[in-house]
């Protein structure tokens, strides 16, 4: 569930059974999801390369995963620009991920 904090940031809270996962900031949540998906695509691509019949699918997994690795610094850049325009402090900008 997305929740807006008093200082205008968006936080994510996900309940998985008895466990509650809370991620501060929408940019951090987006970065984590991006990293997880990129890693998953590389893992799936690696497995698909074992068989000749699935080689093309493996290549696509690697290609999309590579694009996601380029998206990560883009997320960081957009976050820093957003913090700068919103008057975010040095402490917040230093908490890069």
Q: Per residue in 32-68, pLDDT tens? A: 999 999 999 999 999 999 999 999 999 999 999 999 9
Owner of token pair 């991920």: 97
The closest of 97, 90, 41 to 73, measured between CA atoms, is 97
Q: Angle at Cα 38 formed by Cα 91 and Cα 31, nearest 5°?
A: 20
Spatial separation of the C-alpha atoms in residues 86 and 81, rounded to whole Å? 9
Instruction: Retrieve residue 89's tokens.
Output: 């402090």
Prediction pTM value: 0.68
Q: Show Cβ contacts of residue 73 under 8 Å, excluding neighbours closer than 6 positions.
A: none
Of 10-19, 52-61, 63-72, 78-87, least confident by mean pLDDT is 10-19
- State whether the Cα torsion 84-89-94-96 is positive or negative: negative
Beta-carbon count within 10 A of 79 CB: 22
């Amino acid at each position: 569930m997305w929740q807006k904090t008093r200082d205008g940031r968006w936080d994510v809270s996900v309940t998985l059974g008895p466990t509650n996962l809370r991620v501060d900031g929408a940019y951090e949540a987006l970065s984590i999801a991006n990293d997880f998906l990129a890693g998953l695509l590389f893992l799936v691509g690696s497995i698909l390369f074992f068989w000749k019949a699935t080689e093309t699918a493996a290549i696509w997994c690697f290609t999309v995963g590579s694009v996601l690795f380029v998206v990560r610094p883009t997320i960081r850049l957009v976050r820093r620009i957003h913090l700068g325009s919103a008057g975010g402090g040095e402490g917040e900008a230093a908490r890069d991920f």
